[in-house]
């Protein structure tokens, strides 16, 4: 069945817009990004309303029904509610065949790095419904990772509908993720930096502009519909003393240790449910939900994303002992909820843990140094971003989010100090974030937005150009110029009389001779201007090793030599060819996965 003429015209027109690079096409792409931002803002509102609906369905209605039997509600209903929610999530996961995916932002990172921005459209509806049920029934997790998935999938679906290129699809996924985070937190800057720092792991002006537009539009739509309501009601903040900055550095260290505990506990629970719990996968979230329900019988603060509890801590309306206990109980509840297959993210739990660590630390320093330190709520506010900074190894996102959530510039120095120290402590234990570790355990090794496992499998010999323009050592400058002007290369190996590598000449070397020693140009030979310490790769190196060599001096071409004879040239390797080969292999892998 063919498209209607108007529909076909729109699709073809935007297809050209999403694959070209003229200013007119960039303008059209900005329009697409704006439409996506509006859709994501609406979706964020629907998502929050659905979570509220299921929370009322699972907790408020049963509370009314058992109002005359409070012990039955407390000892029977409360443990069973998360179990029922977990069962529904497990059945939905099995029905939609989504068992291989989690609810965290790690999936969005995979979509851009491995899947070329191709996402199944049903992800939008599955993740919206499953997460609403999960959080509404008391599952311990966050809505930020799921909303990044929902809106990222919306971006991919829109791009696929318009037959966008793979680069544009990746960017639309990033735009959607940024819009989702921005709308969820009412923090457009944090949404943008989240995508640049984590999802795309790349910054350039062309991609930055549509990401900003999507974030702004999504935030504006949510504010129009729900009002400019902050996620947290942050306390007034001032830095009491310049010396207090050292206390915030110590808080950062503690947050880094808490992040490490969260990291270890999360994967321990994940391994336990995968290897030790031998039941149908649809039943595992129910088991996890029941365990979390047992914890919630005594500390219901562990249920859901915990925003209300964080608000109490920020206001100083929480006892020291409860705040201390919640650090560990929230870690355990979240690890069990998500490890058993619950549909939630790690963003909100990380904020919760950081808030409790900061609050406990604030109580301690207030007791030890009364009159010289800020309120416990102020330390809790700083701690909110520090644990997440360490868990995701994304300090910039959380520093800016701390400022956006408080609207107080004075908090920037403490937040920067705590986030950097927490991230530093976390990196001492592992070079992986919780996101990248999740993907690594599935055989996906990400680095700067690329899947290292793909590049590990590819060899330099498969990508190199065998045609090499070499320059003899004794070639006069005139001959050098002739060879350079007739070649498309920028780097030229210099060889001795036996054809063995002795140096390399770049166009920059020639330019320096022309500018600085023009009068010597007629008498110099190739050997005198060549760089002797040549960075090379062998034809047996993988592409990851090649990219590491490119990065040593930020060069674009490398001579390829035989592993058995490091001075025997067999080809040239260009950085652009490596990236093109990577994209081609990723597209091939994506096609195989889809089929």
β 557-562/537-538 pair status? parallel
- Is it the case that residue 158 has pLDDT exceeding 60? yes
- Is it the case that residue 84 has pLDDT exceeding 90? yes
The pLDDT tens digits for 247-303 are 999 999 999 999 999 999 999 999 999 999 999 989 999 999 999 999 999 999 999
- Is it the case that residue 595 has pLDDT exceeding 70? no
- Is it the case that residue 344 has pLDDT exceeding 80? yes
- Is it the case that residue 313 has pLDDT exceeding 90? yes
- pLDDT > 90 in the chain, percent: 39
Q: Which residues contact 435 (CB under 8 A, 6 or more apart)?
A: 104, 105, 106, 109, 198, 392
Q: Token pair for residue 34?
A: 């704006």
Q: Determine the pLDDT at residue 165.
A: 79
The chain-wide mean pLDDT, for the chain, equals 85
Q: Tell the CATH topology of 244-442.
A: Clc chloride channel (1.10.3080)
Question: 106 and 438 in contact (C-beta within 8 Å)?
Answer: yes
Q: Which helix (H) or strand (E) holds 236?
A: none
- List the beta strands (DSSP E) in 326-469: 446-447, 450-451
The pLDDT tens digits for 383-402 are 998 999 999 988 888 888 87
Helix locations, 393-542, DSSP H: 395-406, 412-429, 434-440, 452-457, 460-463, 477-485, 507-516, 526-529
Q: How confident is the model at residue 487 (pLDDT cuts 50, 70, 90)?
A: confident
Burial string for 16-49 (b: 16+ CB within 10 Å, else e) reads: ebbbeeeeebeebbbebbbebbbbbbbbbbebbe
Q: Determine the pLDDT at residue 267.
A: 95
Q: Determine the pLDDT at residue 555.
A: 82
User: Is the pLDDT higher at 113 or at 379?
Assistant: 379
The pLDDT tens digits for 239-250 are 777 888 999 999
Which of 322, 264, 275 shows the shortest CA–CA distance to 298? 322
User: Which segment of 132-136, 145-149, 172-176, 205-209 scores lowest on mean pLDDT?
Assistant: 205-209
- Is it the case that residue 25 has pLDDT exceeding 70? no
Paired with 505 in beta bridges are: 492
- Is it the case that residue 528 has pLDDT exceeding 70? yes
- What superfamily does domain 5-232 belong to in CATH? Clc chloride channel (1.10.3080.10)
User: Is the pLDDT higher at 172 or at 69?
Assistant: 172
What radius of gyration, in Å, describes the C-alpha atoms of the chain? Answer: 28
- Is it the case that residue 181 has pLDDT exceeding 70? yes
Q: Determine the pLDDT at residue 141.
A: 93
- What superfamily does domain 458-587 belong to in CATH? CBS-domain (3.10.580.10)
Q: Determine the pLDDT at residue 521.
A: 57
- Is it the case that residue 207 has pLDDT exceeding 90? no
Q: Determine the pLDDT at residue 488.
A: 78
- Is it the case that residue 554 has pLDDT exceeding 50? yes
Q: Determine the pLDDT at residue 352.
A: 95
Average pLDDT estimate for 446-471:
79
- Is it the case that residue 16 has pLDDT exceeding 70? no
The DSSP call for residue 2 is: P
User: Is the pLDDT higher at 181 or at 488?
Assistant: 181
Question: 241 and 205 in contact (C-beta within 8 Å)?
Answer: no
Q: Determine the pLDDT at residue 127.
A: 94
Average pLDDT estimate for 217-224:
94
- Is it the case that residue 204 has pLDDT exceeding 70? no
Angle made by CA atoms 302, 306, 308, in degrees to the nearest 5: 125
Q: Cα–Cα distance between 494 and 249 in angstroms, integer?
A: 53
Average pLDDT estimate for 23-33:
78
User: Which segment of 6-15, 321-330, 552-561 scores lowest on mean pLDDT?
Assistant: 6-15
- In the chain, domain spans: 5-232, 244-442, 458-587
Q: What is the pTM of this model?
A: 0.81
Average pLDDT estimate for 152-161:
93
Domains 244-442 and 458-587 share a fold: no
Question: 479 and 521 in contact (C-beta within 8 Å)?
Answer: no
Question: 525 and 475 in contact (C-beta within 8 Å)?
Answer: yes
- Residue 384's Cα: distance from chain center in Å? 18
Q: Token pair for residue 301?
A: 């603060």
Average pLDDT estimate for 429-444:
85
Following CA atoms 438, 439, 443, 446 in sequence, which dihedral angle do they give, to the nearest 10 degrees? Answer: -130
Q: Determine the pLDDT at residue 1.
A: 41
* Most confident among 350-354, 497-501, 572-576 (mean pLDDT): 350-354
Q: How confident is the model at residue 168 (pLDDT cuts 50, 70, 90)?
A: confident
């Amino acid at each position: 069945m063919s498209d209607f003429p108007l529909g076909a015209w729109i699709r073809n027109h935007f297809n050209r817009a999403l694959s070209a690079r003229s200013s007119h096409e960039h303008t059209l792409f900005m329009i697409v990004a704006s439409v996506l931002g509006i859709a994501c803002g609406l979706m964020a509102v629907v998502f929050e309303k659905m979570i509220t609906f299921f929370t009322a369905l699972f907790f408020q209605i049963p509370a009314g029904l058992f109002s005359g039997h409070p012990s039955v509600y407390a000892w029977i209903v409360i443990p069973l509610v998360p179990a029922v929610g977990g069962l529904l999530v497990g059945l939905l996961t099995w029905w939609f065949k989504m068992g291989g995916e989690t609810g965290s932002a790690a999936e969005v990172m995979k979509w851009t790095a491995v899947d070329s921005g191709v996402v199944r459209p049903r992800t939008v509806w599955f993740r919206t419904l499953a997460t609403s049920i999960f959080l509404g029934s008391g599952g311990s997790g966050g809505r930020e990772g799921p909303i990044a998935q929902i809106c990222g999938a919306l971006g991919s679906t829109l791009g696929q509908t318009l037959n966008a290129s793979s680069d544009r699809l990746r960017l639309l996924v990033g735009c959607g993720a940024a819009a989702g985070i921005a709308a969820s937190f009412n923090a457009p800057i944090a949404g943008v930096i989240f995508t640049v720092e984590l999802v795309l792991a790349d910054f350039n002006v062309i991609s930055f502009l549509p990401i900003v537009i999507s974030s702004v539009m999504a935030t504006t739509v949510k504010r129009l519909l729900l009002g400019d309501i902050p996620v947290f009601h942050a306390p007034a903040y001032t830095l009491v003393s310049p010396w207090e900055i050292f206390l915030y550095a110590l808080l950062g260290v503690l947050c880094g240790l808490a992040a490490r505990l969260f990291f270890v506990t999360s994967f321990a629970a994940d391994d336990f449910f995968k290897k030790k719990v031998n039941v149908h996968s649809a039943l595992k979230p129910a088991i996890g939900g029941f365990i979390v329900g047992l914890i919630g019988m005594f500390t219901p603060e562990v249920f859901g994303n915990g925003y209300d509890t964080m608000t109490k801590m920020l206001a100083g309306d929480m006892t020291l002992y409860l705040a201390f206990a919640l650090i560990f109980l929230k870690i355990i509840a979240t690890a069990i909820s998500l490890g058993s297959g619950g549909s939630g993210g790690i963003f909100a739990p990380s904020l919760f843990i950081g808030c409790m660590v900061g609050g406990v630390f604030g109580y301690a320093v207030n007791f030890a140094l009364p009159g010289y330190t800020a309120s416990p709520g102020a330390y809790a506010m700083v701690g909110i971003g520090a644990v997440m900074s360490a868990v995701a190894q994304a300090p910039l996102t959380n520093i800016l989010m701390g400022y956006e959530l408080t609207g107080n510039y004075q908090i920037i120095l403490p937040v920067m100090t705590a986030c950097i120290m927490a991230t530093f402590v976390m990196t001492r234990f592992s070079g992986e974030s919780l996101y990248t570790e999740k993907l690594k355990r599935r055989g996906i090794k990400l680095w700067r937005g690329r899947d290292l496992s793909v590049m590990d499998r590819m060899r330099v010999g498969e990508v190199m150009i065998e045609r090499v323009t070499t320059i003899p050592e004794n070639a006069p400058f005139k001959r050098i110029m002739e060879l350079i002007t007739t070649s498309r290369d920028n780097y030229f190996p210099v060889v001795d009389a036996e054809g063995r590598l002795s140096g390399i000449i770049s166009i920059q070397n020639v330019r320096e001779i022309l500018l600085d020693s023009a009068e010597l140009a007629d008498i110099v030979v190739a050997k005198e201007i060549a760089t002797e310490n040549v960075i090379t790769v062998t034809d047996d190196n993988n592409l990851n090793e090649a990219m590491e060599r490119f990065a040593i001096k930020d060069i674009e071409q490398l001579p390829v030599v035989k592993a058995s004879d490091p001075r025997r040239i067999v080809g040239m390797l260009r950085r652009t060819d490596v990236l093109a080969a990577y994209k081609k292999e990723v597209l091939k892998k994506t096609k195989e996965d889809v089929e």
